[in-house]
Structure 1
Amino acid sequence: MRKTLVFRHDSIKIQLCGDTQSSVDQLIIGNQTLYDQQAFYSATRWLLNNQDLQTGCWFIHVQRNYAHHTHYHLRNPWCSAMAQGQAASLLVRLYSLTNNKEHLLAIRRAIQPLWSSNLTRAYFNNRFLWLEEYPLESATKGLFVLNGCLYALIGIIDVNTIDYQPYLSELINQIIISLEHMLPYYVHPTISNWSLYDLSHITMKSKINTASYSYHLVHITLLQCLPQ
Structure 2
Amino acid sequence: MQNSRTNIPVYPISVHDIFQRILTQDYGPFDAAGLPLVDYDRLFARNHIKHAGKIGTHYTPVTLAFFALGNFAQCNFHKLDLFVRRFREVAEWFLQYQVEARNTGGVWLHRFPMPHLPVLLEYVPGAWISAMAQGLAVSVLVRAYHAFNKKQFLESARRALQPFQYSIFDGGVAYALPNDQLFLEEFPANPPMHVLNGALFAALGLAEYLQIVEDEALARVYQKVLAGIRTLLPRFETGYGSLYDLRRRQIANAGYHDLHVQLLRALGKLADEKEFLATSQRWRTYRQSRVKRSCHWLAERAWAVRRRMQFNPARKSS
Shorter-chain TM-score range: 0.7 to 0.9
Classify 1:91/1:73 alpha carbon distance in 2 versus 1 (closer, same or farther; 3 Å). Answer: closer
Matches within 5 A, 1:14-163: 14-15=9-10, 30=63, 32=67, 33-34=70-71, 35=74, 36-54=83-101, 55-66=105-116, 72-75=119-122, 76-118=126-168, 119-124=172-177, 128-136=181-189, 138=190, 141-163=191-213
1:171 aligns with 2:224: no
Query: Corresponding residue for 1:220?
Result: 261
TM-score w.r.t. length of structure 1: 0.77
What is the deviation of 1:102? Answer: 1.9
Unaligned runs of 5+ in 2: 20-61, 75-82, 273-318
Task: Flag the structure with larger Rg.
Answer: 2
- Report the CA distance shift for 1:225/1:41 in structure 2 as closer, same or farther (over 3 A): same
Separation in 2, partners of 1:129, 1:43: 29
Stretch of structure 1 that moved more, 30-39 or 75-84: 30-39
Superposed CA offset, 1:27-77 (max 9, x none): 96645332411110111111111111453001111112346x5xx433241
Secondary structure of the residue aligned to 2:4 is: strand
In 1, are the aligned partners of 2:121 and 2:128 still within 8 Å (CA)? yes
Offset, 1:7: 5.3
Structure 1 distance, partners of 2:164, 2:186, is: 11
Q: RMSD of aligned C-alpha atoms? A: 3.0
Describe the shift of the 1:24–1:199 C-alpha distance in structure 2 as closer, same or farther (beyond 3 A): closer
Is residue 48–residue 106 contact of structure 1 (8 Å, CA) maintained in 2?
A: yes
Alignment of 1:185-200 (within 5 A): 185-188=235-238, 192-200=239-247
Structure 2 contact 91–153 (Cα < 8 Å) conserved: no
The C-alpha deviation readout for 1:140-182, integer Å capped at 9, x for no partner, is x210000000000000011111111011111111111111211
SS at match of 1:52: coil
Could you tell me how far 1:125 is from its partner in structure 2? Answer: 6.3
Point out which structure has higher relative CO (alpha carbons under 8 A, 6+ apart): 1
Aligned-partner residue type, residue 253 of structure 2: S
Deviates more, 1:115-124 or 1:75-84: 115-124
Aligned-partner SS, 2:113? coil
Partners in 1 of 2:16 and 2:234 — Cα distance?
34
Give aligned pairs, total.
202
- Tell me which stretches of 4 or more aligned residues in structure 1 moved more than 4 Å: 22-31, 124-127
- Report the residue type matching 1:134 in the other structure: F
Quickly say closer, same or farther: Cα 1:115–1:27, change in 2 above 3 A: farther
CA drift at 1:126: 9.0
Query: Structure 1 unaligned runs (5+)?
Result: 202-207
Between the aligned partners of 1:116 and 1:99, the Cα distance in structure 2 is 30
| Paired-residue identity, % | 30
**3-state DSSP of counterpart to 1:129:** strand
